[in-house]
Amino acid sequence: MPESSLANREIVLAGGSGGIGAAVAGLLLAEGARLVIGYRANRERAERWAGSATVVPADLASAPDRARLLDAAPALYGLVVLAGDPARIAAPTETEAAMRRSHEVNYLGPILLAREAAERMAAATTPGAIILISTM
């Protein structure tokens, strides 16, 4: 088997519990990455990775949660964010709150997490990558 450029590289995958995130988690693990998977709401889906990855509950809108997620990867090489909240509502009175939450989950949290990861990677002189994909 050829040596992978991701072999033994530590990668944080925020939003890796289901959908596209689960597919990306499988691909990263197949490449030999050491994976830290963050999830906000899908604990059962996230726990299926517990045998092959570190699983961390984390709401990207929370500064302590972002720090805990990054702390789980002390040799951080890369960050992939696939977290998202489409702002679905059941009643028109929920529109503003849903839009604010969507902004926090889809934009603010991922951007702040990426900045924090970039600062850590720069301090460690790690030549890695940061990838952000959001759902609206």
pLDDT for res 4: 58
Mean pLDDT, to the nearest integer, of 5-27?
91
Give per-residue pLDDT as tens, 67-123. 999 999 999 999 999 977 778 889 999 999 999 988 888 899 999 999 999 999 999
pLDDT for res 105: 86
User: Which residues are CB-neighbours of 127 under 8 A, at least 6 positions away?
Assistant: none
Mean pLDDT, to the nearest integer, of 23-42?
93
Q: What is the Cα–Cα distance from 132 to 106, expressed in whole angstroms?
A: 10
Residue 3 has pLDDT above 60, yes or no: no
pLDDT for res 78: 96
In the DSSP assignment, the letter for residue 108 is: I
User: How open is the CA angle 76-81-87, to the nearest 5 degrees?
Assistant: 150
More confident residue, 102 or 18: 102
Residue 49 in tokens: 């990775």
Residue 44 has pLDDT above 90, yes or no: no
- Please report which helix (H) or strand (E) contains residue 57, including its range: strand 54-57
Cβ-contact 82, 20 below 8 angstroms: yes
Bridge partners (DSSP) of residue 76 are 10
* Positive or negative torsion for Cα 49, 53, 54, 57: negative
Output the average pLDDT for the chain: 90
Q: Which of helix, strand or coil describes residue 94?
A: helix
pLDDT for res 1: 42
pLDDT for res 102: 87
